[in-house]
């Protein structure tokens, strides 16, 4: 039999409060006028529920890092060319055709 959703929500708040209280179960139970075994039960129940339902999403934080890359070095015979990431392919092909005729 499923517990009433309002009752479950109440206990979820109690469990969250307990976890942040830095008190023992006994101290927390006495302060909040609840039985220790009830707190133990709901702690276990919410822990098991969390294990049963794997998270479908995880938070991913992107870090903006500057892109730095080493230039690409092309050697063609005695000719050596260093290319950056934004090189123009058409210009490189023309350069290699000329180099082919000279080298």
Q: What is the pLDDT of residues 66-96, one digit of tens each?
A: 666 777 787 767 778 888 877 788 887 887 7
DSSP class of residue 80 equals E
**Model confidence pTM above 0.95:** no
What pLDDT digit, counting tens, does each position of 25-81 carry? Answer: 999 999 999 999 999 999 999 888 777 666 666 777 877 766 667 777 877 677 788
CB 24 within 8 A of CB 40: no
**So what's the pLDDT on residue 98?**
78
Residue 42 CA to its chain's centroid (Å): 29
d(CA 14, CA 28): 10
């Amino acid at each position: 039999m499923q517990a009433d959703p309002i009752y479950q929500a109440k206990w979820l708040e109690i469990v969250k409060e307990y976890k942040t209280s830095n008190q023992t179960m006994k101290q927390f139970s006495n302060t909040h006028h609840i039985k220790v075994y009830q707190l133990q039960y709901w702690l276990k129940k919410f822990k098991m529920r969390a294990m049963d339902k794997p998270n479908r999403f995880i938070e991913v934080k992107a870090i903006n890092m500057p892109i730095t890359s080493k230039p690409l070095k092309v050697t063609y015979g005695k000719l050596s060319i260093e290319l950056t990431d934004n090189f123009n392919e058409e210009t490189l092909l023309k350069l290699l055709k000329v180099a082919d005729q000279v080298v």
